[in-house]
């Protein structure tokens, strides 16, 4: 009954059945094995591990329990334990491609990377016409950072199964990380024709357009990705950053408003909302958020810098100068803070200090047009 209920995804009822059965027969390896599989379905690997360990205490060579314990150990990057569990499998099961892939991962984790790669190379030769094996090999190659090889493996898997969304996505990701942006863009666009609201595809495609300095296209995709998955902090951050780059501060503030409804304790998001409001023209609202943040986090140089920018817009130059100086004491390498302070020095007629700050900026960014422009104006004022 527990197995039947698991198949129907009625997990709470299934667990009650397993526990009742265990009261009758507490040392049944098959019953415990099913309970371990039940915990895997619930994504509770620690509980599953405990139950499977009870199985092998009763039957040391139990195939499924040893295989699942090996998988759990590999996920935890415990290669030595995984190899020990795999050694208890029958020879016929040890020879299976899926088991060999698991062995390759375990070998890499115990420092035998070259042996693992040789084993994977042998498996790749067997992968022709077996998209599942190609895909598994691709995932392992990507995990090892061999993105071009992973791309080839996923391309082979896609050839045999061209409509598989997961293979398309992984191919696009491998191509993107290998630096093959044109191919990655084409693959993600193909994947999105199948699943137009997939947040991962939208996000990665947006990143490609960002890398190509096509922020206008990127921001449209990021808005779609954010609508599909508003809880994703990485998508929100990219959306806000790209919107700010384009001067779309009101859009960025709106996105942060929605995010803060879901996660009101996200103080960094509140800080960024304040900055966007200030840059978008709503100075009072922006200053409220930024002052609240810097009171709570007085040693965050980013918060102090953003408050100073807002104060500059509000013509509160003395406070802005004080906050920029404090930010640079905390983070002397913050070039945008140093440039902002140079501008303030210029506005206050302190051209010598402005020059000092700008020379530091230009050591890091020698082709900064805005820094060169202000430096030229400083030199004019200094005759």
SS3 76: coil
The helix (H) or strand (E) run that includes residue 242 is helix 233-245
Tokens matching residue 188 = 């993600």
Report how far apart, in Å, the C-alpha atoms of 182 and of each of 25, 174, 186, 209, 216 are.
60, 12, 6, 10, 18
pLDDT at 312: 92
Please provide the DSSP assignment of 96-145 as one string.
SHHHHHHHHHHHHHTT-HHHHHHHHHHHHHH-TT-HHHHHHHHHHHHHTT
pLDDT tens digit at each of 383 positions of the chain:
999 999 999 999 999 999 999 999 999 999 999 999 999 999 999 999 999 999 999 999 999 999 999 999 988 989 999 999 999 998 888 888 888 888 888 888 888 888 888 887 887 776 555 556 777 788 888 888 889 988 988 888 888 788 889 999 999 999 999 999 999 999 999 999 999 999 999 999 999 999 998 988 998 999 899 889 887 888 888 888 888 788 888 888 888 888 888 788 889 989 989 999 998 888 999 999 999 999 999 999 999 999 999 999 999 999 999 999 999 999 999 999 999 999 999 999 999 999 999 999 999 999 999 999 999 999 999 99
Pick from 194, 258, 227: nearest CA to 206: 227
Which pLDDT does position 252 carry in this prediction?
Answer: 84
CA distance 365 to 346: 19
Residues 6+ apart with CB under 8 A from 110: 79, 80, 83
- 308-324: string of b/e by CB count within 10 Å (b at 16+)? bbbbbeeebeeebbebb
Task: Give the span between the Cα atoms of 66 and 57, in whole angstroms.
Answer: 11
Extract the tokens encoding 148: 């071009």
Q: Strand, coil or helix: what is 52?
A: helix
Neighbours of 168 (CB within 10 A): 25
CA-CA-CA-CA dihedral for 54, 55, 59, 63, to nearest 10: -140
pTM of structure: 0.64
List C-alpha distances in Å: 317 to 33, 174, 229, 304. Answer: 70, 49, 40, 14
pLDDT at position 96:
83
pLDDT of residue 180: 94
CA 173 to chain centre: 12
Q: Which two tokens stand for residue 17?
A: 């059945």
CA-atom Rg of the chain in angstroms: 28
Structure confidence at residue 134 (pLDDT) = 74
Angle between helices 11-24 and 29-41 (to 10 degrees): 160
Contacts of 271 (CB under 8 A, 6+ apart): 289, 290, 293, 302, 303, 306
Distance CA 377, CA 367 (A): 16
Rounded CA separation 221/209 (Å): 9
Q: Which of 68, 60, 61, 62 is nearest to 39 (CA)?
A: 68
Contact 67, 93 (CB under 8 A): yes
């Amino acid at each position: 009954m527990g197995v039947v209920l698991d198949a129907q995804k009625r997990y709470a009822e299934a667990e009650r059945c397993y526990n009742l059965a265990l009261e009758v027969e507490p040392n049944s390896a098959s019953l415990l094995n099913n309970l371990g599989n039940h915990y895997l379905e619930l994504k509770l690997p620690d509980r599953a591990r405990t139950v499977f360990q009870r199985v092998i205490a009763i039957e040391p060579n139990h195939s499924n329990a040893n295989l699942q314990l090996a998988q759990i150990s590999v996920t935890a990057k415990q290669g030595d334990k995984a190899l020990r569990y795999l050694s208890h499998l029958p020879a016929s099961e040890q020879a299976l491609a899926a088991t060999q892939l698991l062995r390759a991962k375990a070998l890499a984790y115990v420092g035998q990377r070259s042996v693992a790669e040789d084993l994977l190379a042998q498996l790749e030769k067997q992968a022709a016409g077996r998209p599942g094996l190609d895909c598994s090999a691709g995932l392992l190659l990507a995990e090892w950072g061999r993105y071009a090889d992973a791309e080839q493996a996923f391309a082979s898997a896609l050839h045999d199964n061209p409509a598989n969304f997961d293979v398309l996505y992984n191919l696009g990701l491998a191509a993107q990380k290998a630096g093959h942006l044109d191919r990655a863009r084409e693959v993600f666009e193909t994947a999105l024709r199948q699943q137009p609201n997939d947040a991962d595809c939208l996000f990665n495609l947006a990143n490609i357009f960002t890398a190509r300095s096509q922020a206008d296209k990127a921001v449209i995709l990021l808005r779609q990705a954010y609508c599909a998955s508003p809880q994703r902090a990485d998508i929100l951050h990219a959306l806000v950053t790209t919107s700010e780059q384009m001067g779309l501060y009101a859009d960025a503030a709106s996105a942060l408003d929605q995010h803060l409804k879901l996660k009101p304790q996200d103080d960094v998001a509140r800080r960024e909302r304040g900055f966007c409001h200030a840059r978008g023209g709503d100075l009072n609202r922006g200053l409220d958020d930024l002052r609240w943040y810097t009171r709570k986090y007085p040693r965050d140089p980013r918060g102090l810098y953003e408050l100073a920018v807002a104060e500059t817009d509000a013509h509160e130059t003395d406070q802005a100068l004080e906050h920029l100086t404090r930010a640079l004491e905390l983070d002397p390498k913050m070039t945008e803070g140093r440039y902002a302070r140079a501008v303030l020095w210029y506005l206050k007629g302190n051209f010598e200090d402005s020059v000092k700050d700008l020379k530091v900026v230009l050591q890091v960014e020698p082709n900064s047009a805005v820094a060169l422009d202000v430096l030229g104006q400083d030199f004019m004022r200094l005759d």
